[in-house]
Amino acid sequence: MLTIPLITFHGRLVGVMQLINAMDDAGRVTPFSGEARRMVPLLSNIAAVAVDRGIMNREMILRMVRMAELRDPSETGPHVQRVGAYSAEIYQQWAQKNGIDAQEIRRKKDLIRLAAMLHDVGKVGIPDSILKKPAKLTDSEYEVIKQHTVLGGRLFVGRTSHLDTMSMEIALNHHEKWNGSGYPGCIIDIMAPEIQTGPPKVSTEIPLSARIVALADVYDALCSQRYYKQSWSEDRVLELIEKESAQHFDPEIVAIFFSLLPVIAAIKKRFPDA
């Protein structure tokens, strides 16, 4: 057995690499060779860098979540944790149903869990007078708050990873609706000072990740109490979601959601509001 600690350049222990049951060419158990003992530490250094980068990405996301929470009292830590967890489970069921490779499912499931947590990060650019207003918004105020989708998308324009790409898809599109009545619609130039939009996206024009998060976010928001509203009963929320199948929500995603209700309940229990 050859065991090597995974230590980053900063001296942080992030894991352990363990190789077992070395064998010779005849398949007999043998001690690890001198060459293996020289090469494996090099491999462990590469693994340590990869693990450290993953930890840094996760920490950066959690910092962005906390930043959004400071700006918007409705964007609580438990809320985004639940939306991320709901989205990951819905994606896994969808992917298995559609014959996606198991390795791809594992990769995308982790990505959507993290990216979904940033769905409303664009609200950091919305004025407090609108974001924290304890009453119904006026039409003009509602037009301003709708801009959070584009503002969130802008944060990920310099995409350097699959996580950035999915985070942009979700932030920009999670308020689009299956029947084409959502927002913000097709963006002419996401970085233009003035936001210019084209027609709303319809059905599968909306990225899958955003269609999943759209349902997860609405479900959790309606089930949760906010400073401007009381929580709805579970039955009332489920009735609305069923009614909005093929209207607001992708009908396939709605069907998968209802098949996962015991899992959804367990996630709610795991991440309760304070």
Active-site residues, by number, are 123
- Nearest by Cα to 232 from 241, 69, 199: 241
CA-to-CA distance for 178 and 228, rounded, in angstroms?
Answer: 27
Return the residue matching tokens 């996580």. Answer: 163
Q: Which helix (H) or strand (E) holds 263?
A: helix 261-270
Extract the tokens encoding 150: 């584009």
Element holding 244 (H helix, E strand)? none
| Angle of the 251-259 helix axis to the 261-270 helix axis, nearest 10 | 70
Q: Which residue has the tokens 């509602």?
A: 142
Which amino acid belongs to residue 108?
K
d(CA 212, CA 249): 8
Q: Output the CA angle 141-144-150, nearest 5 degrees.
A: 160
What is the distance between the alpha carbons of residues 174 and 213, in angstroms, rounded to a whole number?
Answer: 6
> Facing residues of 226 across strands?
229
Residue whose structure tokens are 């936001």: 195
